[in-house]
Amino acid sequence: MKAEKWVFGFIFIFFLIVTPAYWIMSHEIAGTFALGFTGLMGGMIAGYLALTARTFDPRPRTAPTRTSSRVPARSGSSPRRACGPSGAR
């Protein structure tokens, strides 16, 4: 969750900077409120992720795929399908 925390932290900082600039340029209340509220929500989510990330284990690294262990597909035939619990056709 470390990456997500930084993404929402960036959103918080971005809207923290953009909201006053928008107010100075437009003097429009609804848009300023929407931008400020978006920034506050980003900050709230970043804070939540920062607190909950402490309780989670780090993400496991993805294991590299081994190409040599793949079973080659049969050529020229369709896969066999069982028709019942015994596998009889």
In DSSP notation, the chain reads -HHHHHHHHHHHHHHHHHHHHHHHHH--HHHHHHHHHHHHHHHHHHHHHHHHTTTSPPPPPPPPPPSTTPPPPPSSSPPP---STT---
Q: What is the pTM of this model?
A: 0.61
Shortest CA distance to 6 belongs to which of 47, 39, 64, 36?
47
Structure tokens at 77: 């035939």
Sequential pLDDT tens for the chain (89 residues): 788 899 999 999 999 999 999 999 999 999 999 999 999 999 999 999 999 988 877 777 755 655 555 555 566 555 565 555 665 65
Q: How many CA atoms lie within 13 A of 26 on its CB side?
A: 13
